Structure 1
Amino acid sequence: MSTAVPRAFSVLELLVTSPSGLPLGKIAEELAIPPSATHRIVTELVDLGYLRSDSEGNYALGLQLVSQALRHLASIPLVELARPTLDQLAELSGELVRLSIPDGDHLVWVAKSQGARGGLRYDPDAGREARFARTSSGLAWLSALPEDQAIARLQAQGFERDDDSRSSGPRDLDEALAAVREARERGFAFTDSTHELGIAAVAVPVSRADGTPAAVLSIAGPSVRLTRERALELVPHLFRGREDLAVLADSTLHA
């Protein structure tokens, strides 16, 4: 099989984590691709609109890739139909509300609605992966899975800290499983500064009628506002939102 396509995807995947872009030499070094081959790849991707270059010679993701990704997300029935529920929860909570769905063995935030109108705002881009052991969304998702499947996903992903080394969170399988079991018992997961320092979140799994998980609904915001007490106040509203989304999940499954 030609190496051109895998290399092109490797370039795109690398630049997803570098929103400001990287110079050609750094891309070649990170991916262990000869500079000449790297130059051909990025040139073609720029011509297609999937990459853009700046005056300093850095390459970053282009609008074409973002546009195609957003069009794809909008075509997913549950994502499109969930919008009113997300907006309602955002208005009620005054915080960021997100929907995440599985992508293979990963969980990805695919839609959001911002309820914060002023002051501190937590508003990361959609499309980011929700780490299983370090996010309320990840823990909520695992809580809806059989124990052996939850263990397998935790072991596969590992327990490395995110970019902010000051963040806390489970350090091994035992600690992660304890958090998953607590979420399963309570019906929701709450985290504070485990994924990003100073950010708290509360999440509930959304399951279909047959019990299989379809998505996760979460609320996130600055820890100074989204305290544990405030999160507990919002849990009943998350439960109601989950009921609405569960109906949608079943309808899209059988559509």
Structure 2
Amino acid sequence: MTIVDFLVIIFNVIIYYILYYYFPFSFLHYTSTVSINEVINYVLVDCSVWLTVAFTVDRFVLICCQKLRERYCREKTAAVIITTLCVVSCIKNILLYFAFEPGYIIDNVEWAVDFKPAYFTWPGWITFNWIDIIFNPLLPYFLILLFNALTVRHIVMANRTRIALQGQHNTQNSDDPEMQSRRKSIILLFAISGTFIVLWIPAVVFFLISRITDGHFEPDQYTNPLLIADYTADMFQLLSSCTNTCIYALAQSKFREKLRNAIRSPFIAVIKLIK
């Protein structure tokens, strides 16, 4: 999740939104380069979203499904799920490369991109567009809310049962290791999935409003409310990819330890060479 979110920041924020606008008429503006970068951005965002779903499901199985936990919560299973999500995201979004055409041509050189007119009228592209928004983020929204609700329900019931069996009150169980472990799990779960839900709300609302009202706008109409809403939704959507790394750094001691080791390893290698 952290690697994919970091790649989103590199390709979607730094390259697409910063370098693209500050270096006009560079190779970044070639039609082929922009088309490839658009596809990469869609792939990375889809991977980021569905890895959040996979994390939510993983927490649900770990906490709620005792029998399934031994078979599911393994490194091999995680590798298979991560690979499958990445491959499916690539296959789905590679079709977008054929939805673009050059924005303009100067001296036989194709610059920028626009969606082909058929993208807005051909039933195949319209169907693809709806499948894309269902795939991300409507279905992930539903799955995250569902599994979060089931996980919380299980934790609340398990805590009540544990308190009843021990014959103690909630205030007397503050040092219970099992209760603390469950509390940490639910905090991490809601920190990651909760930020995803909140930060993706503008993108979902904008999509629904633009489709219901059939609103269209030109990319250079900077005072158009729809364009402002579109850029605002993109900003919050990309911000959601920055939060997971911060949450892991703050909440996971093993993640902090690995990060410290990664930072110190080059210096340790240099010191060993000097000695």
User: Could you state the TM-score of these two structures normalised by the residue count of structure 1?
Assistant: 0.20
- Greater C-alpha Rg: 2
Richer in strand (by share) = 1
Richer in helix (by share) = 2
More relative contact order, 1 or 2 (CA 8 Å, 6+ apart): 2
User: Could you state the TM-score of these two structures normalised by the residue count of structure 2?
Assistant: 0.19
